[in-house]
Amino acid sequence: MRILGIDPGYGITGFGVVEANRGNCRLVRCGAITTPAGMDFSARLEIIYEDMRQLLEVAKPDCVAIEELFFGQNVTTGIGVAQSRGVILLAIRQAGLEVFSYKPMQVKQAVVGYGNATKHQVQDMTRRILQLDAMPKPDDAADAIAIALCHARSSTSLLARLREQ
């Protein structure tokens, strides 16, 4: 199963494509969609949408895993990220792909085994699981890879298989 993981944002949207097969995972590609600061916000959303459509065509994922939004202290930033996430979800929907959303705590639990793990712990376990020499940059791409791994582990669990029956 080829999983596209997405860490949504409007300045940087990270992505990671992971191939999962019977508990073994391998990184296919990763990177980021970026938009220039100071550009009209609607133009930034258009770039994200168009780049996401191209990524979906090139990566050919079987499904997409995306991080759910967490509104912390800065609600204004959260609103922008929510709008970015909206155009990403639209591109996924138009591509006819199934999308799965995961909370940050779920990603940490699936990758590290501890829902309150630090960002460094998640990145280190991601690197170990995929047997990488170093964690890919930027951090947004690394986060997206962890989201893809979360789905790989969640979708192959006994509970997930029981739900399908």
Task: Indicate the CATH number of 2-164 among 2.40.110.10, 3.30.379.10, 3.40.50.20, 3.30.420.10.
Answer: 3.30.420.10
- 140 catalytically annotated: yes
Sign of the dihedral through C-alpha 95, 53, 145, 6: negative
* Every domain of the chain and the residues it spans: 2-164
pTM score over 0.85: yes
Contact 34, 162 (CB under 8 A): no
Cis peptide bond upstream of 61, omega within 30: no
Summarised one tens digit per residue, pLDDT across range 51-86 is 999 999 999 999 999 999 876 666 667 888 999 999
Whether the pLDDT of residue 161 is over 60: the answer is: no
Per-residue buried b or exposed e for 101-135, using 16+ beta carbons within 10 Å of the residue's own CB: bbebebbbbbbbeeeebeeeebbebbbebbeeeeb
Q: Among the options 50, 140, 143, 164, which is catalytic?
A: 140
Q: Among the options 50, 57, 67, 68, which is catalytic?
A: 67
Q: Could you tell me the end-to-end alpha-carbon distance of the chain, in angstroms, rounded to an integer? A: 19
Least confident of 48-57, 83-92, 109-118: 109-118
At 122, is the pLDDT very low, low, confident or very high (cuts 50, 70, 90)?
Answer: very high
